[in-house]
Amino acid sequence: MRITKSIILIAGITVASPLGVAAQQSQPPDQAQAASPSQNDIDGQTMFATSCGFCHQDGGRAAGRGPKLAGTTRSDDFIADRVRKGKPGVMPAYGSVFSESQIMAIVGYIRTLEE
Ligand code: HEC
């Protein structure tokens, strides 16, 4: 009797879990859309404001904890690389936070800054 019970239990779990996964998968897209209905994912200005503005003041136009970025003479590669790797001890690395296209959008935003 015991054995039969556990088999039924296991069968129940196996049947239930695919349904559980399906139900979970069908929800997040709706929620994600509600949370970011706009192009925020590749909006360099928004990403900069939320992630970088704390140290690079006034949207990167003024020095704060980090240097002013407006009018930088650094290359796109340098800026993108600094965002990816940060600088130990002073600036966090964002390589695992942003996708490559998001990093490019941030570089693009910095390029729009006027001194
Ligand atoms: C915790 C503070 C902090 C945050 C947050 C931060 N930075 Fe920095 N950043 C710094 C500091 C400090 C430096 C100067 C490091 C050095 O000594 O070279 C720097 C340097 C840089 C440089 C190189 C400037 C140059 O010409 O040498 C770039 C580009 C830059 N940050 C971009 C960003 C971007 C883009 C973000 C957001 C994704 C960001 N930073 C977030 C503190 C920060």
CB burial of 31-41 (b: ≥16 within 10 Å; e: otherwise) equals eeeeeeeeeee
How sure is the predictor about 115, in pLDDT bands with cuts at 50, 70 and 90? confident
Candidate from 50, 81, 91, 106 with most ligand 1 atoms within 8 A of CB, to mutate: 91
Mean pLDDT value across the chain:
79
21 or 1, higher pLDDT:
1
Q: What is the pTM of this model?
A: 0.74
58 or 39, higher pLDDT:
58
Query: Is the per-residue pLDDT at 21 higher than 80?
Result: no
Q: Which CATH class is domain 40-112?
A: mainly alpha
Q: What distance in Å separates the CA atoms of residue 34 and residue 47, rounded to the nearest whole number?
A: 18
Per-residue pLDDT tens digits for 57-104: 999 999 999 999 999 999 999 999 999 999 999 999 999 999 999 999
**Ligand 1 centroid from CA 101, angstroms:** 19
Candidate from 52, 107, 110, 112 with most ligand 1 atoms within 8 A of CB, to mutate: 52
Q: Nearest CA to 53 among 111, 115, 106? A: 106
Q: What distance in Å separates the CA atoms of residue 115 and residue 34, rounded to the nearest whole number?
A: 36
Q: What distance in Å separates the CA atoms of residue 74 and residue 68, rounded to the nearest whole number?
A: 12
Ligand 1, atom nearest to 54 Cα: 5
